[in-house]
Homo-oligomer: A and B are copies of this chain.
Amino acid sequence: MSNSPTDPGSARGGRPTSSDVAQRAGVSRTAVSFAYNDPAKISTATRDRIMAAADELGYTPDPLARMLKHRKTGTLGLLLPQDIAQVMQNPYYAQFITGIGHVCEREGMTLLLCPPLRNSMLKAIPYAAVDGFIVTGLEADRGEVAELRRRKIPFVLVDSEPVTDVPSVEADDDKGGYDLVRHILELGHTRIAFLIFESGPDQPNLGYRGPLKRRFAGAERALAEQDLSLTSAGVVTVEAPCTRSGGYTATLDLMAGQAPPTAIVAFSDIMAVGALDALKSLNLPVPAAVSVVGYDDQPEAEWTQPRLTTIRQPIEAKGRLAGDFLVAAIRGESQHPRQLLHGALVVRDSSGQAPPT
């Protein structure tokens, strides 16, 4: 109605379009577009007139229309396995996103956080206006990955099983788990508790997956060398939320049991810090009575009392590489780069000889 040929929109309630500006400035829409994108193509006078009109009308080119035309959005998508709130609570993700952030800065791009939609990562994919996805916490055989493949949209896999036909960034979690447990075993411990983070409601009872699965695989190898296993007497595994208080509570429970562990292997620094808190509150000296080790080497690990033995993992580098690979894939530059990131055992003061029995 108000959209008749004679009134191309200026009377509508909505925001002004390039037609409105063109009309007001007495030029074509082409000229308006040039004023913003290629000022050399029009005279200065025309440009000034257009900009003045745009200013009066409160016009700015619609980013959506621009993106549709250019077939690019200038944004990287991060497909998340959990809600934004949960992710932000996890220092691991904060570091990972920091790494991606460096790439965004360099490329002048924005970052879209894409949490599951109605509990489904799959459903979140088609609604994201991005040039490509970074996918974390997903095995390559999941439906989401197949969907991404099918849509031929650039993406990179982080922390999945090794795959060869997709850009991917992996960490040697198997080796990390092995090194950590071997260190503990060399100190003479045999009563060992594994303190792990809950897998999340998304994938219940599927057994451990992803990095956790690989860390356990490494742990089992180390145990096997001493004729032990995850099911040996004295070896236990407890799950808790991936937070400091999660580690605290779980450790309190653990130490209240009979034949409590002499070593606690937490697969997350933040949980290890909680374990340290619990042992302090129980007046159990670390590492004299109980050893505690973590995973990730978060900054906190250096500040705890005693300082935490842990596996250093280059989380930020992981994010940065994932971003680099994605940008390359978007540009069609690289084929299927893969990078395996190495961790390292960092021995500090929280692990020591097993107490005599």
* A interface residues, Cβ below 8 angstroms from B: 14-15, 55, 58, 60-65, 67-68, 71, 73-75, 83-89, 94-95, 97-102, 104-105, 108, 110-115, 117-118, 124-129, 150-153, 244, 273, 277, 299, 303, 305
Further pairs besides A15-B151, A104-B113: 6, Cβ < 8 Å: A15-B153, A63-B128, A74-B127, A84-B105, A88-B95, A88-B97
- A60's partner among B85, B94, B151 (CB-CB below 8 A) is B151
- The contact of A64 among B64, B97, B104, B273, by CB within 8 Å, is B64
Q: Given the complex of chains A and B, what is the CA–CA distance between A262 and B68 in angstroms?
A: 61
Is the beta-carbon distance between B128 and A58 smaller than 8 angstroms?
no
Contact of A87 among B85, B101, B273 (CB under 8 A): B101
In the complex, the answer to whether A127 meets B244 with C-beta atoms within 8 Å is no
In the complex, A117 Cα to B273 Cα: how many Å? 38
| B115 x A63 contact (CB < 8 A) | no
Tell me whether A112 and B115 are in contact in the complex, defined as CB-CB below 8 angstroms, given that A84-B104, A152-B58 are known contacts: no
Chain B residue at minimum C-beta to C-beta distance from A243: B299
Q: Which residues of B contact A95 (CB under 8 A)?
A: 88
Expressed in whole angstroms, the Cα–Cα distance for A329 and B126 within the complex equals: 25
Q: Select from chain B the residue with minimum beta-carbon distance to A72.
A: B64
Residues from chain B with a CB closer than 8 A to the CB of A94 are 88-89, 94
The residue from B64, B88, B115 contacting A68, defined by CB atoms under 8 A apart: B64
Once the chains bind, are B112 and A105 in contact (CB under 8 Å)? no
Complex copy number for this chain: 2
Instruction: Report B-chain residues with C-beta under 8 Å of the C-beta of A105.
Output: 83-85, 115
Is the Cβ of A104 less than 8 Å from the Cβ of B115?
A: yes
A88 touches B101 (CB 8 A): yes
Identity of the chain B residue whose Cβ is nearest the Cβ of A14 in the assembled complex: B71
Chain B residues whose CB sits within 8 angstroms of the CB of A89 once the complex forms: 94, 98
Interface pairs (11), CB distance under 8 Å:
A14-B71, A60-B126, A63-B126, A63-B128, A65-B68, A84-B104, A85-B98, A86-B101, A89-B94, A89-B98, A104-B113
Q: How far is the CB of A321 from chain B (nearest CB, A)?
A: 14
B85 contacts A101, C-beta separation under 8 Å: yes
Q: Whose C-beta in chain B lies nearest to the C-beta of A68?
A: B64
In the complex, residue of chain B having the shortest beta-carbon distance to the beta carbon of A280: B305
**Cross-interface CB contact of A150 among B58, B99, B273, cutoff 8 Å:** B58
What B residues does A303 contact at CB under 8 A? Answer: 244, 273, 277
Bound CA–CA A101/B61 (angstroms): 29
